[in-house]
Chains A and B, each alone.
Chain A
Amino acid sequence: MITIVDYGAGNIGSVQRACMEIGVKSVVVNTPAGIQNAEKIIFPGIGAAPPAMDTLKRTGLAAALKQSFESGIPILGICIGAQVVLDSSEEGKTPCLSFIPGTTVRFKLRDKSLKIPHIGWNVVKVVQSHPLLEGIGKEDEFYFVHSYYLKPADSENIYAVTDYGGEFCSAIGQKNLFAVQFHPEKSGRLGLQMLNRFVGWDGRVPSKSTESRSR
C-alpha cells in the first residue's frame, strides 16, 4: 500500500492513476495521522514552493513526514515534493524541510534560446547507482516541468543529472528518501517502471560502489 500525501500541490490524481496502472493499492492522505501508519510514502507536487511549505507546516504534515523519514519509511518525492526536502528554496525565499542539505535555485541560463520553464522530455543520467534507478539506460528520458532545480550541498546526495544549458541535479537521495525533479507518473513506461521499483524498495541503499562518478 502506497500512501500519497495531498498537501494541495497538484498532481495527486496522476500519481493515483499511475499506481492503479502498475497494480498497487494507494491511499491519499492529508493529515499527520494519515501518514503515521504508512508503509511507503509518495510525496508529489507541482506548482510553487511557498504555498506548498505553508500547507505542510500549517497542517502538521511537515512534522509527520520528518518522523516517517527518521523512522526509515521509504519516501519518494516528486518535483515540488523533491525541492522542499532541501533546506530552502530560492522561490519566495522559503525555508523547507531540511531532510537533505542544499537549496533549490532558479535556472539562470546563458543560452537565451533555452526556455524557462524547462518543459519536456530530457535524459536522466545516472551518476550514482540506486535501487530506484536500476535499468535506466544512457538515453532514457523522463518528463520535466520546472523553473527551479535541486542543488544539494553534498555531491554524495546526487544520484542523477540532466543537461539543460549545463548539468543540473535531477535526482537526490539520502537513506530511505529518494526524490526526483521529473515526473515518473508522466514519463510513460520508464516512469511507471521506476514507481514499480519504489513499490518493491525496502528503503535501503546498498553501500557505495567504487565505480567512478562524474562529479
Chain B
Amino acid sequence: MLSKRLIVCLDVRDGKLAKSIKFVNTKDIGDPVQKARQYYEDGVDELVFYDITASQNNRDIMLGFVKAVASQIFIPFSVGGGIRSVEDATKLRLAGADKININTAAVKRKELISEIAGAIGSQSTILSMDVRRTQKTAEITSGYEIVINDGTAPTGIDALKWAKLGEELGAGELVINSIDADGTKEGYELILTRMIADNVGIPVIASGGAGKPEHVYEAFTVGHADGALVASIVHYGDFTCRQLKEYLHNRGIKVRTGF
C-alpha cells in the first residue's frame, strides 16, 4: 500500500523563504536551499518550491536556484509559480525539478495542461488550484471557486469542475489550496479536499491551514487526500517532519518512517 505523503512547501520570494498569511504579508524566514536539505534529512517525502512573486511580476524563475536545491535533496521535488509555457516547464525539468506546478496560466489557457503533460508526461504535471469558498450559483455548483493571481482575482470557475477538467487534460496530480484556510493554522478545508479527492482518479494533495499534527491526520482520514502540504507548522519550528510522521504513524496512518 502506498504511504500518505508529507510534503513541505517552500514559498520563495526574491530568492528567500517566505510564508504567506492569506497570501499577503509575506515574512522572510531563511535560506530555502539550506531549509530544503534540512527537511530532506528530517524525512519529508516531497518538496514544493513555489515562487510566489513570479505570476504577478512576469519574471522567470531562477533556474540556478532550482539547480542548487536539486543537488541537495534526493527525493521528488516540484516547482511552481509563473509557469506559462512548455518551454518554462522543460527548462525547470532540466534544472532538476521532477514535477511542474501550473496554476494561473492554466486557468487563463487550459490547453497549457495538455501541452505540458504531452511534453514532460502527466506524472510530472501538477495542476495547482487556489480555491475560495463562495455562494453556490448556477455556474459554481460546488460552492467553491477558482481564484488566480495569488488569490487576488476570482474567475467564476467551479473548483470541482476545474479539477475534473484538469485530470481530463492530463494533469497527473492536483494540489488543492484553500485561500480561506491558508496561513490560519486552523486546519485544512476538508470538505473541499474530500469532494475533489472522491471525484478524480489522480492523487490529490491538501494544502493550506495545517497548524497541528491532527490537521494533517484529518487531511488523510476525513479529506481523503493522498498527500498533505505543510508550511508554517514546520517553518517556524513548531514541529519537525519527523514528529509529524511519528504522530501519523502512531495514529495508524501509513507513512514512510525508515529514512
Main secondary structure of the interface of B (DSSP, over half): loop
Stretch from A56-64, A150-158, A187-195 at the B interface:
A187-195
Distance in Å: Cβ of A147 to nearest Cβ of chain B: 8
Using A46-B121, A139-B258 as known contacts, say yes or no to A122 and B98 having CB atoms under 8 A apart.
no
Shortest Cβ distance from residue B241 to the other chain A in the assembled complex, whole angstroms: 12
Alpha-carbon separation in the docked complex, A117 to B171 (Å): 11
Collect the chain A residues with CB atoms within 8 Å of residue B3's CB.
120-122, 141
For B233-259 the 0/1 string (1 means CB < 8 A from A) is 000000000000000000000001111
For the residues of A in contact with B, the DSSP-based class is mixed
Segment at the interface with B among A12-20, A29-37, A97-105, A203-211: A12-20
Which of the candidate stretches B71-79, B153-161, B208-216 sits at the interface with the other chain? B71-79
Interface string of B181-212 (1 = CB under 8 A from A): 00000000000000000000111000000000
Question: Within residues 1 to 37 of chain B, which ones have a CB less than 8 A from any CB in chain A?
Answer: 1-3, 5
Chain A residues in 8 Å Cβ range of B124: 46
A25 at the interface (CB under 8 A from B): no
Contact, CB under 8 Å: B258 / A140? yes
Assess whether B258 is in contact with A186, with CB atoms less than 8 Å apart: no
On whether the beta carbons of B226 and A18 are closer than 8 Å, the reply is no
| Chain A 75-101 near chain B by CB (<8 Å), digits 1 or 0 | 000000000000000000000000000
Give complex CA distance A21, B94 in Å. Answer: 18
B129: min CB distance to chain A, Å: 18
CA distance A178 to B124 in the complex (A): 26
Interface pairs (15), CB distance under 8 Å:
A13-B70, A13-B94, A14-B70, A17-B71, A115-B203, A116-B201, A117-B172, A119-B172, A120-B45, A122-B1, A137-B258, A143-B76, A145-B123, A163-B1, A185-B74
Q: Which A residues fall within an 8 A CB radius of B? A: 11, 13-14, 17-18, 20-21, 46-48, 112, 115-123, 137, 139-141, 143, 145-146, 163-164, 185-192
